[in-house]
């Protein structure tokens, strides 16, 4: 058996099972194997021997248990990755897996109990095939200055980009979401994380929204003249609903473009709507009275209130992308998607699935009864001219295939 360049810490309170784990790891060729009977002892071991590549961790034990141990080492860098060794039920294991990921640790997998040598061997190979001792993450881009963002807004450098929504079965475009990119004259395309928090802090979100609606309705008119009918969706923060002039300004832009309200959708994340005040509800009602569609974005990512969902005048649900990412391996995600589809049908609300990245996901969603989706499998966000060109290329392919 070749030597594996891995340092492993075994955290197990049962003496015999700990001995078995240590012997198995040594037999599999691990270079160094350390052991501890509870979390406190494991922390002391780490203090003495330094960083380890893997913690093979039981969860239930006397003293400091595995959960508290993982919380302690999550931000310390003392443990690079984790293998869970537990006899917990499948739903609890899934929750622990999520916790480990949120703590910033790499989860190699679950070896179960009693230990299976082949499963353990495969997880060790996984650690070597995808080393966790990677370069430190690149720090997040610093926020732009307020003056720079104000100038960018005044100079119309904050451009609308478009990502299509599509019919999962036919591939037909059934709408488009407007996103924002900063088209800097010297730095190129700047992502929204650099400037959106500044816009929000400075109370400039409404000004950006009105510019985007104006720009997008111009594109919508061009697309309609070329035979493409598009509903255009905009992201709206719940805090913007408190502006009593919001709906009047949107109505004015619609009139200036001779566009009906039904050509627009406004997407709001659910988290800001759970305690929506009366002024916010008035804005939502006015938008619907103008004919606009309202969509709850990232549904399921927060603490959804079904009561509020029934009270608020929404007619579309956009299901959070995490449900699609975990669709293949998480039965509960399949159940959540199916339940949301049934809820949407009962409430008369369309359901759009976000984050579709593979054809396998699309086919699984079709099997569950999904009809509308959005994601990189179909198209990435594009600038306006690129989007129109993309529509033409797609239409030309469909004509040539007939």
Q: Which of 354, 322, 319 is nearest to 179 (CA)?
A: 354
The residues pairing with 269 across neighbouring beta strands, listed in sequence order, are 297
Give ∠ CA 334-335-337 in degrees, rounded to 5. 65
Contacts of 195 (CB under 8 A, 6+ apart): 143, 144, 149, 152, 158, 182
Does the annotation count 354 as an active-site position?
yes
State how far the alpha carbon of 231 is from the alpha carbons of 24, 131, 221, 234, 293, in Å: 60, 45, 11, 10, 9
> Of 35, 177, 270, 354, which residue is the catalytic one?
354
User: How far, in Å, CA of 141 to CA of 63, rounded?
Assistant: 42
Element (H, E) at 156: none
**Token duo for residue 35:** 């052991």
Q: Which residues of 293-328 are buried (b: 16+ CB within 10 A; e: fewer)?
A: bbbbbbbbbeebeeeebeebebbbbbbbbbbbebbe
The residues pairing with 299 across neighbouring beta strands, listed in sequence order, are 319
Other beta carbons within 10 angstroms of residue 213's beta carbon come to 23
**Token duo for residue 190:** 């700047």
Element (H, E) at 130: none
Catalytic residues: 354
């Amino acid at each position: 058996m070749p030597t594996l360049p891995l340092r492993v810490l075994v955290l197990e309170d049962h003496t015999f099972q700990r001995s078995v784990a240590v012997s198995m790891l040594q037999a599999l060729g691990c270079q160094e194997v350390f052991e501890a009977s509870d979390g406190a002892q494991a922390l002391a071991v780490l203090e003495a021997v330094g960083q380890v590549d893997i913690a093979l961790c039981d969860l239930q034990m006397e003293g400091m248990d595995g959960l508290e141990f993982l919380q302690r080492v999550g931000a310390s860098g003392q443990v690079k990755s984790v293998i869970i060794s537990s006899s917990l039920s499948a739903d609890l294991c899934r929750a622990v897996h999520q916790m480990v990921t949120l703590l910033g640790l790499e989860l190699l997998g679950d070896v179960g109990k009693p230990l299976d040598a082949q499963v353990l061997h495969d997880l060790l190979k996984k650690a070597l095939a995808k080393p966790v001792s990677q370069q430190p993450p690149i720090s997040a881009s610093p926020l732009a200055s307020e003056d720079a963002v104000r100038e960018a807004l005044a100079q119309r450098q904050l451009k609308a980009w478009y990502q299509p929504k599509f019919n999962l079965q036919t591939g037909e475009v059934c709408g488009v979401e407007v996103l924002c990119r900063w088209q800097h004259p010297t730095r190129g395309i700047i992502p929204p994380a650099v400037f959106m928090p500044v816009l929000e802090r400075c109370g400039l979100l409404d000004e950006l929204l009105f510019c985007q609606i104006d720009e997008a309705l111009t594109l919508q008119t061009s697309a309609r003249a070329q035979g493409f009918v598009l509903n255009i969706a905009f992201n709206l923060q719940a805090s913007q609903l408190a502006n009593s002039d919001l709906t009047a300004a949107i109505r004015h832009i619609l009139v200036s473009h001779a566009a009906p309200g039904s050509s627009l959708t406004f997407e709001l994340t659910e988290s800001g709507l759970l305690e929506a005040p009366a002024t916010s509800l008035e804005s939502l009602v006015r938008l619907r009275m103008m004919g606009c569609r309202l969509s709850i974005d990232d549904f399921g990512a927060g603490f959804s209130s079904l009561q509020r969902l029934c009270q608020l005048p929404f007619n579309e649900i956009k299901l959070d992308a995490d449900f699609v990412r975990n669709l293949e391996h998480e039965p509960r995600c399949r159940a959540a998607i199916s339940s949301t589809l049934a809820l949407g049908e009962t409430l008369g609300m369309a359901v759009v699935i976000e984050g579709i990245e593979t054809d396998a996901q699309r086919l699984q969603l079709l099997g569950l009864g999904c009809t509308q989706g959005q994601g990189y499998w179909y198209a990435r966000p594009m600038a306006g001219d690129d989007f129109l060109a993309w529509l033409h290329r797609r239409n030309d392919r469909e004509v040539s295939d007939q």
